[in-house]
Structure 1
Amino acid sequence: MSEITNAPQNLSAIDFLRTRSLANVVQAEIERMIIDGELKPNERVNENGLSQRLGVSRGPIREACSALAAMGLIEIIPNRGFFIRALTNDEAQDLSEARAGVFGCMAMMLAERVTDAEIAILRALLQRMNEIVELGDVHIYYPVNLEFHKQITHMAGNNRLELIYQSFVRELHIQRYRALSSHDVLHISNEEHRAIVDALEARDPVRSLIAARTHILNGIVRTRQAGQPGPVEQVEKQSRKTSDERSTDET
């Protein structure tokens, strides 16, 4: 209500809400363009070009870009405009390692309380991703992959950790999307998903933590191998170390 009260004097409440709604639609489209690579890292956002392409005025585009800047996808440079944010190697590494730790922690928490109904939901998502792997289409796989991770973080039942995790996800969208760029990678990714669900179904907190954290660490390596800005070799070494420790524990 306060936003409507503070609406610009030359706009009615209905016009203001319509503009806000339009900005949300524009924001979703610009975010898609960033994730799909249509807008490149460090590229300046062409407000006039987007205005013509999307059939809207520059106002909703600026509002959408400001919202995406708050999410970490766009950078605002004074007197120059909006630019697609490019993560440095160190930034990508820090974010990815933090995401791995939080995701592992939430999987561990979920293993202590997961229900059969929740396992069934995760199994259904696994099956859906298996079907998509046969198609080798990352455009179809990626949203289901996001839903799988989202379900685990939601089922864990800690709202604060879920918000933190989702903030990492938004900033790492581009790297994660492009790391899933080949058929073989999709297959490997979903096998790691299966290991997580197997550990959860066994109600084994430690095994769930290791499977979930290792999955994210392996994703860091895949990002670097895909040629995107990403972590340095020590992360790959850490991933191998984790896998070796797990193998030792199982023998």
Structure 2
Amino acid sequence: MVLSAVEILRSQSLPMVLEQEIERVILSGEFGPGDRINEKELALRFGISRGPIREALRSMDSSGLVEQVPNRGFFVRELSAEQACDVYEVRAALFGLAGKLLAERISDEGIGRVKTFIADMDKAVAADDFEAYVKLNFAFHEFIVRNAGNPTLAQQYLGLVKQLRLYRARNLMLGDSLHASHLEHHEMAAAIIARDPQRALAAHTGHVDSARLRLMATVATHK
């Protein structure tokens, strides 16, 4: 949905709203990794001047989604395989901590939510519904980090996930990789439900490490 002028005017921070909208456009795939971001086009789309667009893009430069190239403009960041590996390593450490904290702090209601996520993903896997599984996967991971009780951790983790969504090989998790990933989800859930922090730490860290290895193996076979 295109941002309306009324929505902009009601916002407390125009650049912040623009960041969210530009981010949505990028992550929807409208702009691909390495593409130049046309400031004039965005200004026309949102019905505003180019100044706020440029300010929003400068702010996004620090988030890792875009990068400014001197005398050329702003571009959607393109991760190399090595850079993606670096991001995965940091993500594994953060996700492991999130799992540990959640296991220590989760409520009975939260445990019910975890069980529902796993049941819904079981159904998606059984039906070979890849699209549904991917959506549930993102939602489950976000639930874990947002309910770990550490907003700084959640902010950093979700920022890394956004960067990885720019990686060209992000949609290559098919076949056996999907099933392996879901088995790891079961172990993560079991650790959380048991309220076992150390088991959760190992399961969550291992899940992201395994995802990194699966991704790199897929990249190697597609070179």
Q: TM-score, normalised by structure 1?
A: 0.69
What displacement does 1:120 show? 0.7
Relative to structure 1, the CA distance from residue 136 to residue 94 in structure 2 (aligned partners, 3 Å threshold; closer, same or farther) is same
Give the equivalent residue in structure 2 for 1:197. Answer: 189
Give the equivalent residue in structure 2 for 1:216. Answer: 208
Q: Which residue among 125, 136, 142 is the counterpart of 1:144?
A: 136
Higher relative contact order (CA 8 A, sep 6+): 2
Q: Which residue among 70, 91, 95 is the counterpart of 1:99?
A: 91
Q: Which amino acid is 1:189 matched to?
A: S
Relative to structure 1, the CA distance from residue 46 to residue 38 in structure 2 (aligned partners, 3 Å threshold; closer, same or farther) is same
Provide, for residues 65-92 of structure 1, a one-character-per-residue CA deviation record: whole Å limited to 9, x for no partner: 3343232100011221111111233332
Relative to structure 1, the CA distance from residue 191 to residue 16 in structure 2 (aligned partners, 3 Å threshold; closer, same or farther) is closer
Q: Which residue among 155, 161, 169 is the counterpart of 2:161?
A: 169
What displacement does 1:213 show? 0.8
Is 1:157 aligned to 2:163, yes or no? no
Relative to structure 1, the CA distance from residue 135 to residue 68 in structure 2 (aligned partners, 3 Å threshold; closer, same or farther) is farther
Give the equivalent residue in structure 2 for 1:87. Answer: 79
Q: Which amino acid is 1:208 matched to?
A: A
Q: Which amino acid is 1:70 matched to?
A: S
Q: Distance between the aligned counterparts of 1:84 and 1:77, measured in 2?
A: 11
Paired residues of 1:179 and 1:223 also in contact (CA < 8 A): no
SS in structure 2 of the partner of residue 71 of structure 1: coil
Give the equivalent residue in structure 2 for 1:66. Answer: 58
Relative to structure 1, the CA distance from residue 128 to residue 104 in structure 2 (aligned partners, 3 Å threshold; closer, same or farther) is same
Q: Distance between the aligned counterparts of 2:150 and 2:58, measured in 1?
A: 29
**% identity of equivalent residues:** 37
* Aligned-pair Cα RMSD in Å: 3.2
Name structure 2 gaps, 5 residues minimum.
1-5
Aligned residues: 213
Is 1:182 aligned to 2:174, yes or no? yes
SS in structure 2 of the partner of residue 82 of structure 1: strand
What displacement does 1:215 show? 0.8
What displacement does 1:123 show? 1.6
Residue pairs, 1:30-69, within 5 angstroms: 30-50=22-42, 54=45, 56-57=47-48, 59=50, 61-69=53-61
